[in-house]
Structures are given as C-alpha cells and as structure tokens.
Structure 1
Amino acid sequence: MLPTSETISVGSINLILFAARQQGADGDALARAVGIDPDQLQNPDGRVLIRQVQALWHEAVIATGEPALSLKLGEMINPLTIGVLAYVMMHCPTLGRVFEKLCHYQDIACEGIRTTGQLIPADDESGATYRLSLHITSPDIIYLEPTFNSELSVYLSAIRALTGQRLTALETRFAYPHPADTREHERVFGPTRLVFDAAETALIFDAALLDTPVLNANPSLFPLFEKHANDILSQLQTPSLKSRVKGEIVSMMKGEEPALATIADRLAMGVRTLQLHLKESGTSYQQLLDETRKELAIGHLREPNMSTTDIAYLLGFAEPSVFFRSFKKWTGQTPGAYRLAYA
C-alpha cells in the first residue's frame, strides 16, 4: 500500500515532543529520527505526515522508557496552546458548543481521525447522555493505543481547563484489547467506567454538562479565530499544488525517477507553468522529489525484509551508491546506520 499524504498539525507534534522532553528525551533527535526537521516545527500552522507521528510515538516510548506516555499527555501539557482549534474552543460560550466545534474542525488537528458527537435521549434506565466518539480514517494510523489514549487524554484535559472543573465521563470506551495494567487509565480518566474491546473509542458524558459555561470566553474574539480555522480547513480540503505533485511522484515512482515533464502532463500543465507555480510556492520540483524520496525511504527502512538496494531501486535511483549519498545528505546517516538505530 502506498503511503497517504494525510497530515497532523505541528501543534499536536509539539505536544508529544514537549511531553517526551519532560521525561528526559531529546526532542530534536526524536523529530529527526522520524524524518522531521525541527525547523518545520516553528510554524504553528504547519503540517507533518501522520505516518511520521505514528513512528514518533514508537520512538518516544523507547527514548523515555514510559509506556504510558500517551495516557499522561493531557496532564503534561497545556491543551489550550495547540493552535487555532484551541482558540476557537476557548471562546465558545458552553461545553456543548466546544464539542460542536471540535467535531467540525477535527481535521485541523489531525486528518486521520474523525470526531463525532451524538446526544442520546433518556430512557427508562438512564438519563440523557452525550457521546463523543473517535473513528480512525487513515491507513497510516497503525498504533491504536497511543493514538486513542493521547486524543482522549488531551480532550479531557482541555474540557477541564475550559470549564475550570474536574469533569469526568460516565464511561470511557477504548476500541483496543484490555491491557494487562489499567492503573494509569483509571487514574487519568477516573472516576469512570472503563470499557475495552469496544466497538468505538468514546467518552460518554451526562448530557447536562453540555450547558457548562466556558471560563473567560470572549464572544468578540470567537469570529476572528473561527475565520482562521475556516481558512485552514479550506486549504486542507483543497489539495495544494505541492501535495498534488508529491502524490503524482509517489504514483509514478516505479523503478525510475519520474520526469518533470511527465508530472506536468499528468497535472495538465506545461513544464514552465508548473515550475513557475512551484517557485511561487517557495519550492521546486527537485525539492519535492527529494522530500518524497526521503519520506518513502524512511518508511521502507522500517520494513526489515527490504534491502537498501531494493529501496534504492524503488525510489528510482540509478545506483545504490547515489541513494546512500542522498540519504546521508537528508538525514546525516547512511541507510544502514539509520535502520540499525531506528528500525
């Protein structure tokens, strides 16, 4: 399966790296280990690939020696500093509106997860409840536990920070098998009823909490942040020329380097027109080709059954030696050294 181009916000990445640093890890080294240049993380509206974040969870647990890092994430960071989505939620009048905006703007935080909310009417046995559910939509998300744990812990931490109350869910569901040790789950989410092997991952709240006011919400600031959020969401939903070019490179990279003229033709553009548009976007075809090769190489090197010679061929390099030199230029390591360190 070819890797997808779904992304996660730089703000979300920085939360993971901050938590790892709190546990003594070298955040910049962790970023580089998964192919992320630390300079990329300076742009609050920047994006990185979901598959890089999945690799980051694996590396962060190894570097910190803390298997429960994802569960602790929400309490180790300030969840209201993760970017424009947090600012939109901060200026919603009630918790019910917070949930509504969280579901609507989920892609800004992570394109690979869909968050939905549903009001469940009261029945003869219980009162009305509200279910906030998470659904995986990206094939690049392969580590379910850290993904679900971190999302729910950050959500709960944000809810508490927004309302100034230590609110808890009536029930917390996880769509993964029952862990051998659930003490951290109980501490982070409790008091709550924990359910594992669930059909979906979700927080079930008393519906009365939807009317809980958000502290310090400023109605006059809400439209400003929502406009910014809408602009970002629109950009994500309309693939940029750079992402389209990289997508074509991936689809055409079958043992030989895709030619610029071929990519331009597939995008129904002239070569000079494509070059001009890429220059206006602050990049070039060669830069995008290198970025794509680097991302694919890092992914392939984590597959133990693929030789570095095979990878060089798949990425369209004429000789393995050319791939080795290019990879060392990108990462500071040879492919073999990288595989030993991170695969």
Structure 2
Amino acid sequence: MSGLTIAVHHVRAALGGARRLGIDTAPLLQGAGIPPLLLADDRARVTAEQFTRLIRALHQATDDEFLGLGPVPSRRGTFAMMCHACLGCPDLGSALDRATRFYRLFPGGPDLAVALRPDDGPAVLTVRSALHRHDEAAFLAACLLLIWHRLAGWLIGRRIPLHWAQFAHPAPAHADEYPALFGCPVHFGAPYTAAGWDAHWLTAPVVRDQPALAALLRRAPADLLGRRDYGTTVAEQVRRSLAQALRSPAPARLPEAGEIAARLAVSPATLRRRLRAEGTSYQRLKDTVRRDAALTALTAGREPIAALAARIGFSEDTAFHRAFRRWTGTTPGAYRLAGVTPRPGEAPPPGPPVPRGQQS
C-alpha cells in the first residue's frame, strides 16, 4: 500500500539532540533501516515506518521524549501519564485543558493552550514554548503540533480537519512538505506556532478507554508522527484516489484529472484551480504518489523492479528509472541496495541488476 514518505530534512533534525549528547546515531539509523549515507542527499526520503522506528529509538537513546531538542528533557512516560489523565474527561475540550495543565507542571515544558477566537471563530491550538534552544526547534514545534492534533482526533475517534497551521519560524527550504503533513494551508513567520479547527470539536465526547490507550501507547508518541489521518483538503482527496489505484496487484492505470474531478463532483477547471490554491497540481500529486509507493516497495521487499514499475503505472522500465532518478538522484537498484540492513555477521543480499545505461 502506498504511504507517506518523509523528507531527509526531518531525519537530520530528529538526530540533532542525540548528536549533541554524544550518542552514536549510526546504529540508530541502521536499526530503523535508514542508510546513514542517505542523509547526505537532500532529495532522499524515508518511509513513515522507518521514521517511526527512528523516533522510538531516539526516545530510548536520549531518555527524552523531546529527543534532546527541548530546553529541558521530558522523561519517557510523561506523554503516557498525560494520556491517562485525559481519559476520564467527558469531552475533548476538557481533555485538552487537563493535558495542557499537566505539561505546565514541568519547568521548560511546552506551553500549550487551546483557546476560542472571538466572534464564533475557530478553536486554536498553540505551541508557545521556548523551544528555540537549538536549530531544530522548528522541527520540534511542528512535531508537537502534529502529535497533539492527531491525539485529539484519536481521543474522540474522529478525524479533525484543520483550517490552517502557522509557524513562528521562517519558511524552510522544504516548506512544500508542510501542507501534506498537516492537510491544510500553512503559513510561516507567524507570531507563534498554532493550528485552527472548528470549535464544535471541543464538545465531542472522549470515546477511548484503557485498553485502547494501552494499544496506542505501545507505539506512541512516535507512531502519531507517522500516521496520516487527514483527507480533508482537495489535494489529499486526489492523493487518496491515486493511492487506491496503486493498491491493485495488477499494473495500475491511474485515473486522469478529469476522472478525479468527476468523482469530486467538480469540473476539471475547478479541480485545477483548487489544487493551485493549495500549492500543488494533479501532475505533482501523481508524481508524489508514485514516488512514495516506489520508495515503500523498495524498502519493504524484493519485488522485481520491472514489476514495480508496471504496478505503479509506468509502461516502460526506462521511464520509471528516469523518474526515480529525478525524484531521488539515484536508481531504484542503488536505492534498494543502500537500504538493505543485514543482520549481524550477514552480508547484504545482492540487489536486482540495474539495466544498462541506468547505473549511478
């Protein structure tokens, strides 16, 4: 199944705290199935599962749920206790109020708040903490916003659409990653980091119980970063339709833009205009879905490259190789070989041959 992939910029940022603590990050990367050499390539990407494994390893190695990036450490287990405190609340608003008050008990912790804007405006979740000790503060603030938004949706068992997200830092080089992560328009250089959603969600009842929380905590909070619980923007609806077309074991035929427009009950011109307003296009989304499906397949298994190319809609191997080099700067065969993590004492298995003329 096609899944979201993560830019290498986020991987580098996640490692910053561990490196300052003198922790050898190479074994952590290898344990997550991420080749350390991949970090040198700005175009490189990792799967959501790889990123989740890395975050869990960093939590353990640093003994800090902020990965060594915050003003003070947040010991492992803090997030879990906050979640336990939320379960007894009748609705999401009171759960978030209790959770934010819980974190204010710890000096140097994030100053989180949920407020209602006047004139029946949206509810606003803010991250106002002094997370600017290190260069990776922007990454940590974005992670906190993601985790808290996704946790809120988990508590009520519903996807909460975001109207917007804003960040206190200037737009980074990889700013185009943010709309896909948050599923909404994103702005930079704001007075503080925040996201807005409809206020009525605060009255939704908390539906999770202790067994459900136990299941969540086996992988959280790291897993909340890798989950994709959106689908609220036009771009994400298009992306989901394209991803569904790639799930068939038979060679894929990706729907054309006109077919997608018909499914969404809009004209092709309206679809193009809405995607443009969200900073993307049908062709860009098509390339992204194919890229993420290819990276996930190359990381996860031994599917022959020719079969993979056909499955994600390429009529010729050479066209797939050209596209893959444009996406990542390398070939599918080289990427697969680089991603192999052998067991101790075991040599990596040979990758499939790269067609003549396609070698790195």
TM-score range, shorter chain: 0.3 to 0.5
Q: TM-score, normalised by structure 2?
A: 0.45
Higher helix share: 1
Q: TM-score, normalised by structure 1?
A: 0.47
